[in-house]
Amino acid sequence: MKVDINNFDIGQMIFDKLQEAFGGFKEVEFKSVTRGDGGGAKRYVPGENTKKPFEFLMATKIFDVEIRNLKDREQLDLSNSFVTLLMPADSLPLPIYACDVDVHKGKYAHVITDLIPLSKNSEYLGKYDAPLKHLRDKYKDLPGMVLKTPEEIYKIFPIMKQFDAFSSSGKIFGNIPLEHAPQIMNIIGDYLNIYCSFVEESEKVEILRKKEIITETVEAKNNFKKMMAQMDFSDDMPKRPKQE
Protein backbone atom coordinates (compact mmCIF):
# COMPACT_ATOMS: atom_id res chain seq x y z
CA MET A 1 0.00 0.00 0.00
CA LYS A 2 1.58 3.27 -1.15
CA VAL A 3 0.84 6.23 1.13
CA ASP A 4 2.64 9.15 2.76
CA ILE A 5 3.08 7.36 6.05
CA ASN A 6 4.17 10.56 7.83
CA ASN A 7 0.66 11.96 7.37
CA PHE A 8 -1.59 8.97 6.72
CA ASP A 9 -4.39 8.21 9.20
CA ILE A 10 -3.56 4.58 9.96
CA GLY A 11 -6.09 4.51 12.80
CA GLN A 12 -8.98 5.40 10.50
CA MET A 13 -7.96 2.69 8.04
CA ILE A 14 -8.06 0.10 10.83
CA PHE A 15 -11.34 1.41 12.24
CA ASP A 16 -13.08 1.33 8.86
CA LYS A 17 -11.98 -2.23 8.15
CA LEU A 18 -13.05 -3.50 11.58
CA GLN A 19 -16.39 -1.72 11.28
CA GLU A 20 -16.94 -3.36 7.92
CA ALA A 21 -16.36 -6.79 9.50
CA PHE A 22 -18.41 -6.27 12.66
CA GLY A 23 -21.04 -3.81 11.43
CA GLY A 24 -21.92 -0.59 13.22
CA PHE A 25 -19.98 0.73 16.19
CA LYS A 26 -21.50 3.01 18.82
CA GLU A 27 -19.29 5.49 20.66
CA VAL A 28 -19.79 5.56 24.42
CA GLU A 29 -18.21 7.37 27.36
CA PHE A 30 -14.50 6.63 27.48
CA LYS A 31 -13.28 4.18 30.10
CA SER A 32 -9.55 3.75 30.59
CA VAL A 33 -7.89 0.50 29.58
CA THR A 34 -4.38 1.44 30.78
CA ARG A 35 -3.06 3.90 33.37
CA GLY A 36 -1.65 6.10 30.65
CA ASP A 37 -4.82 6.59 28.61
CA GLY A 38 -5.44 10.22 27.75
CA GLY A 39 -6.47 12.49 24.91
CA GLY A 40 -7.35 11.06 21.53
CA ALA A 41 -8.83 7.83 22.92
CA LYS A 42 -12.39 6.70 22.13
CA ARG A 43 -14.41 3.69 23.20
CA TYR A 44 -17.01 1.86 21.12
CA VAL A 45 -19.51 -0.91 21.81
CA PRO A 46 -21.89 -2.78 19.49
CA GLY A 47 -24.43 -0.56 17.72
CA GLU A 48 -27.72 -1.10 15.94
CA ASN A 49 -26.08 -2.46 12.79
CA THR A 50 -23.55 -4.72 14.48
CA LYS A 51 -23.41 -8.12 12.74
CA LYS A 52 -21.01 -9.94 15.07
CA PRO A 53 -20.75 -9.47 18.84
CA PHE A 54 -17.72 -7.95 20.54
CA GLU A 55 -17.16 -6.47 24.00
CA PHE A 56 -15.54 -3.13 23.17
CA LEU A 57 -13.21 -1.33 20.81
CA MET A 58 -10.67 1.20 22.07
CA ALA A 59 -9.23 3.44 19.37
CA THR A 60 -6.66 6.19 19.93
CA LYS A 61 -5.43 8.68 17.34
CA ILE A 62 -3.00 11.47 18.26
CA PHE A 63 -1.35 13.60 15.61
CA ASP A 64 1.81 15.71 15.88
CA VAL A 65 2.69 14.66 19.41
CA GLU A 66 6.19 14.27 20.81
CA ILE A 67 7.24 10.69 21.63
CA ARG A 68 10.56 9.60 23.10
CA ASN A 69 12.98 8.10 20.63
CA LEU A 70 13.60 4.44 21.49
CA LYS A 71 17.38 4.67 21.17
CA ASP A 72 17.85 8.18 22.59
CA ARG A 73 15.33 8.55 25.42
CA GLU A 74 16.14 12.25 25.83
CA GLN A 75 15.15 12.91 22.22
CA LEU A 76 11.49 13.73 21.57
CA ASP A 77 10.35 12.97 18.01
CA LEU A 78 7.36 14.61 16.36
CA SER A 79 5.06 11.65 15.78
CA ASN A 80 1.59 10.34 15.03
CA SER A 81 0.28 7.64 17.36
CA PHE A 82 -2.41 5.06 16.61
CA VAL A 83 -3.54 2.40 19.09
CA THR A 84 -6.42 -0.02 18.46
CA LEU A 85 -7.62 -2.76 20.81
CA LEU A 86 -10.69 -4.86 20.08
CA MET A 87 -11.87 -7.09 22.91
CA PRO A 88 -14.01 -10.00 21.68
CA ALA A 89 -17.32 -10.95 23.26
CA ASP A 90 -17.54 -13.78 25.78
CA SER A 91 -19.98 -15.48 23.40
CA LEU A 92 -17.59 -15.26 20.42
CA PRO A 93 -14.09 -15.95 21.81
CA LEU A 94 -11.97 -14.82 18.88
CA PRO A 95 -8.45 -13.56 19.57
CA ILE A 96 -7.95 -9.98 20.80
CA TYR A 97 -7.03 -7.60 17.98
CA ALA A 98 -4.18 -5.30 19.03
CA CYS A 99 -2.26 -2.77 16.95
CA ASP A 100 0.04 0.00 18.19
CA VAL A 101 1.78 2.17 15.59
CA ASP A 102 3.84 5.26 16.42
CA VAL A 103 5.14 6.99 13.30
CA HIS A 104 8.25 8.94 14.27
CA LYS A 105 8.12 11.35 11.35
CA GLY A 106 10.99 11.07 8.92
CA LYS A 107 12.62 8.33 11.02
CA TYR A 108 10.92 5.06 11.81
CA ALA A 109 7.62 3.44 12.76
CA HIS A 110 7.31 1.63 16.06
CA VAL A 111 4.93 -1.22 15.28
CA ILE A 112 3.36 -3.81 17.57
CA THR A 113 0.49 -5.81 16.14
CA ASP A 114 -0.91 -9.14 17.17
CA LEU A 115 -4.02 -11.30 17.30
CA ILE A 116 -3.77 -12.48 20.88
CA PRO A 117 -5.08 -16.04 21.39
CA LEU A 118 -7.32 -16.61 24.40
CA SER A 119 -7.09 -20.40 24.59
CA LYS A 120 -4.27 -22.94 24.81
CA ASN A 121 -6.42 -25.57 23.10
CA SER A 122 -4.50 -27.11 20.18
CA GLU A 123 -7.43 -26.86 17.78
CA TYR A 124 -7.98 -23.21 18.68
CA LEU A 125 -4.28 -22.45 18.24
CA GLY A 126 -4.20 -24.32 14.95
CA LYS A 127 -6.97 -22.08 13.68
CA TYR A 128 -5.94 -18.72 15.13
CA ASP A 129 -2.24 -18.88 15.99
CA ALA A 130 -0.51 -20.99 13.34
CA PRO A 131 -1.39 -18.67 10.41
CA LEU A 132 0.24 -15.74 12.22
CA LYS A 133 3.60 -17.49 12.47
CA HIS A 134 3.62 -17.78 8.68
CA LEU A 135 2.75 -14.09 8.41
CA ARG A 136 5.58 -13.05 10.70
CA ASP A 137 8.03 -15.22 8.77
CA LYS A 138 7.09 -13.19 5.70
CA TYR A 139 8.51 -10.04 7.34
CA LYS A 140 11.23 -11.43 9.63
CA ASP A 141 14.09 -10.03 7.53
CA LEU A 142 12.67 -6.51 7.32
CA PRO A 143 15.11 -3.96 8.84
CA GLY A 144 14.10 -3.03 12.37
CA MET A 145 12.11 -6.18 13.06
CA VAL A 146 12.59 -7.63 16.56
CA LEU A 147 11.99 -11.38 16.70
CA LYS A 148 12.77 -11.70 20.41
CA THR A 149 12.20 -8.84 22.82
CA PRO A 150 15.62 -7.78 24.19
CA GLU A 151 16.21 -7.20 27.89
CA GLU A 152 16.81 -3.47 27.33
CA ILE A 153 13.18 -3.13 26.20
CA TYR A 154 12.00 -4.86 29.39
CA LYS A 155 14.14 -2.41 31.39
CA ILE A 156 12.38 0.54 29.74
CA PHE A 157 8.91 -1.09 29.72
CA PRO A 158 8.81 -3.86 32.39
CA ILE A 159 5.14 -4.57 31.71
CA MET A 160 6.08 -5.79 28.23
CA LYS A 161 7.28 -9.06 29.75
CA GLN A 162 3.74 -9.75 30.93
CA PHE A 163 2.34 -8.63 27.59
CA ASP A 164 4.63 -11.05 25.78
CA ALA A 165 3.25 -13.91 27.88
CA PHE A 166 -0.12 -13.36 26.18
CA SER A 167 1.28 -12.90 22.67
CA SER A 168 0.78 -15.20 19.71
CA SER A 169 3.64 -16.97 17.98
CA GLY A 170 3.29 -14.42 15.18
CA LYS A 171 3.43 -11.14 17.09
CA ILE A 172 4.99 -8.32 15.11
CA PHE A 173 7.35 -6.01 17.00
CA GLY A 174 9.65 -3.65 15.21
CA ASN A 175 11.12 -0.19 14.81
CA ILE A 176 11.12 -0.07 11.05
CA PRO A 177 12.80 2.71 9.03
CA LEU A 178 10.26 4.75 7.07
CA GLU A 179 11.95 4.03 3.78
CA HIS A 180 10.18 0.69 4.18
CA ALA A 181 6.76 2.37 4.46
CA PRO A 182 5.07 0.06 1.91
CA GLN A 183 6.11 -3.00 3.92
CA ILE A 184 4.96 -1.33 7.16
CA MET A 185 1.53 -0.75 5.64
CA ASN A 186 1.48 -4.31 4.31
CA ILE A 187 2.17 -5.68 7.80
CA ILE A 188 -0.69 -3.69 9.29
CA GLY A 189 -2.98 -4.64 6.42
CA ASP A 190 -2.11 -8.34 6.50
CA TYR A 191 -2.83 -8.71 10.22
CA LEU A 192 -6.00 -6.63 9.94
CA ASN A 193 -7.26 -8.61 6.96
CA ILE A 194 -6.68 -12.00 8.52
CA TYR A 195 -8.47 -10.86 11.69
CA CYS A 196 -11.44 -9.65 9.68
CA SER A 197 -11.52 -13.00 7.87
CA PHE A 198 -11.66 -14.72 11.28
CA VAL A 199 -14.62 -12.49 12.20
CA GLU A 200 -16.48 -13.09 8.96
CA GLU A 201 -16.21 -16.90 9.11
CA SER A 202 -16.73 -17.18 12.88
CA GLU A 203 -20.28 -18.54 12.68
CA LYS A 204 -18.93 -21.67 10.96
CA VAL A 205 -16.18 -22.37 13.54
CA GLU A 206 -17.47 -24.99 15.97
CA ILE A 207 -14.67 -24.62 18.51
CA LEU A 208 -15.89 -21.10 19.30
CA ARG A 209 -19.13 -22.65 20.62
CA LYS A 210 -17.51 -25.14 23.00
CA LYS A 211 -18.30 -24.42 26.64
CA GLU A 212 -14.79 -25.24 27.87
CA ILE A 213 -13.27 -22.83 25.32
CA ILE A 214 -15.63 -20.04 26.33
CA THR A 215 -14.86 -20.60 30.02
CA GLU A 216 -11.11 -20.55 29.37
CA THR A 217 -11.24 -17.45 27.19
CA VAL A 218 -13.35 -15.47 29.67
CA GLU A 219 -10.67 -16.08 32.32
CA ALA A 220 -7.90 -15.20 29.86
CA LYS A 221 -9.64 -11.94 28.94
CA ASN A 222 -9.98 -10.96 32.59
CA ASN A 223 -6.28 -11.66 33.17
CA PHE A 224 -5.35 -9.64 30.08
CA LYS A 225 -7.44 -6.68 31.29
CA LYS A 226 -5.71 -6.79 34.68
CA MET A 227 -2.33 -6.74 32.93
CA MET A 228 -3.40 -3.85 30.70
CA ALA A 229 -4.60 -1.88 33.73
CA GLN A 230 -0.99 -1.86 35.00
CA MET A 231 0.38 -0.37 31.77
CA ASP A 232 1.54 3.22 31.87
CA PHE A 233 3.41 4.65 28.90
CA SER A 234 2.79 8.28 29.87
CA ASP A 235 6.52 8.95 30.21
CA ASP A 236 6.96 7.88 26.61
CA MET A 237 4.62 10.69 25.56
CA PRO A 238 5.17 13.38 28.22
CA LYS A 239 3.12 16.04 26.42
CA ARG A 240 0.13 13.85 25.56
CA PRO A 241 -3.11 15.87 25.54
CA LYS A 242 -5.57 15.32 28.36
CA GLN A 243 -8.73 13.28 27.87
CA GLU A 244 -11.71 15.60 27.33
**pLDDT tens by residue, the chain, 244 residues:** 578 999 999 999 999 999 999 998 999 998 777 755 566 789 999 999 999 999 999 999 999 999 999 889 899 999 999 999 999 999 999 999 999 999 999 999 999 999 999 999 999 999 999 999 999 999 999 999 998 887 887 887 787 888 899 999 999 999 999 999 999 999 999 999 999 999 999 999 999 999 999 999 999 999 999 998 888 777 888 877 765 5
* Other Cβ atoms within 10 Å of 116 Cβ, number: 23
Sketch the domain layout of the chain as residue ranges: 10-236
> Is the CB of residue 201 less than 8 Å from the CB of residue 3?
no
pLDDT at 1: 57
Q: How far is CA 157 from CA 176, 196, 232, 233, in A?
A: 19, 30, 9, 8
Return the CATH number of the domain spanning residue range 10-236.
Answer: 3.40.1500.20
Closest by CA to 59, choosing from 21, 35, 28, is 28
- DSSP annotation of 236: G
What's the sign of the alpha-carbon dihedral 238, 164, 181, 16?
A: negative
Q: Strand (E) positions, 47-195?
A: 54-68, 76-88, 96-104, 108-116, 172-177
